Structure 1
Amino acid sequence: MIYDECQTIIGHLRFALKENGTLTRVFLTNYHWLLFVENNTVKKSSELGEPIRQQFQEYLSGERKDFTLPFELEGTSFQKQVWDALQTIPYGETRSYFEIACSIGRPQAIRAIGHANSRNPLPIIFPCHRVIGKNQRLTGYAGGIGMKKQLLHIEGVMV
C-alpha cells in the first residue's frame, strides 16, 4: 500500500492509496494510522499523493467544495448506502442522523447510521462531519469534536 501525508490547519493527515493512485483511506488521527500500519506494508509516494494533498489544502482553505479524486470504498452495502447519503449533504449544511436514516428509507436505523459514519474510510471527502445530533448538537467524530467543529466552521456552519 502506498501512503502520503501532509500537515494541515486541522492536523496531520495521512492517505492510503493503491499503486495506481486510487485513494482508499484518509487517516485523521495517529492512532488509526498506527493500527493500519500494523496490518499493512506501506511505502511513501509524494508523487502519487500530490493531487490528494492539493485538494485537501484547497478544501481546508475554503477554495474547494467538492473532491474530484479517484477512490475505492470497502464496506458493507449498508455502509456504502450511508456514505453515499453523506455525499448528498451540501457544502455548508448539516443533517441529523435521523435525516440520514430517513433519506435511505431506514428511519429506525439511527444508531446504525452513527456506526457506519464511524467506519467511513474517507472522512471529509464523504462528509460525515456534516452529520450532527438532535437540536444541532455535535456528536462523535473520528478526528474529535474539535476537528468536526473546525471543519464545519471552514464551511461556514456555526455550531
Structure 2
Amino acid sequence: MATQEEVLEAIKQKGYADLKDLKRHFGLEYQGSSWLPQRLRALERKGLIVSMRSGNISVYLANDFDCCWDEAKRILLELGLIRKRKRGRPKGSIQYREESITKLLNFIRENKIVTIRWIQRNMGWDWRTTTKYINKLVRDGIVFEIRNGRLRLFTISLI
C-alpha cells in the first residue's frame, strides 16, 4: 500500500495521471475498491493535486502544473483521455441552442473560473438548463471541471 507521498510522486513523474495509470503503476487490479481513491481524495483536500474531469475521465495533476490550456488539451487528446468535439446534431432528444452555448462560454471566459450556482444565478437559467449545458461542454472537452471535495469549479483554461 503506497503512501500519499508515493502517489503524489507518481503523478509528478508523469505530469498527470488517471486512475487507470495509477493502478497500473502500483500493480493493482482494475476492478474492485482499493486504497488509491482514498489517497487521491486526501491529496486533493490538502491542495497538493487537482482533479479535472472531461466526460467520464478524471485526470489528476500536481498542483504545481504550469501549462496553458492548448498544451494540456493536446496532451490529453494524444493520450485519448478526451475526444475532439463532435460536430452535427446532438444525440437523443436534447436540443441545444448555439446562442446559449456561446453565452455560457463567454461568461466562463470572462470570469475565468465559476461554480454551477454562479452560472445559474447570472444566466437566469433554471437548475436543469444550467446542468444540461455545463455537462455538455464538459463532455465535449471544451470546459474543464475541477473538483475540490464537493466543490465543482468550471474553467476553459488550466490555472
- The two structures have a TM-score, normalised by structure 2, of 0.33
The structure that is helix-richer by fraction is: 2
Q: If you compute each CA radius of gyration, which structure gives the higher value, 1 or 2?
A: 2
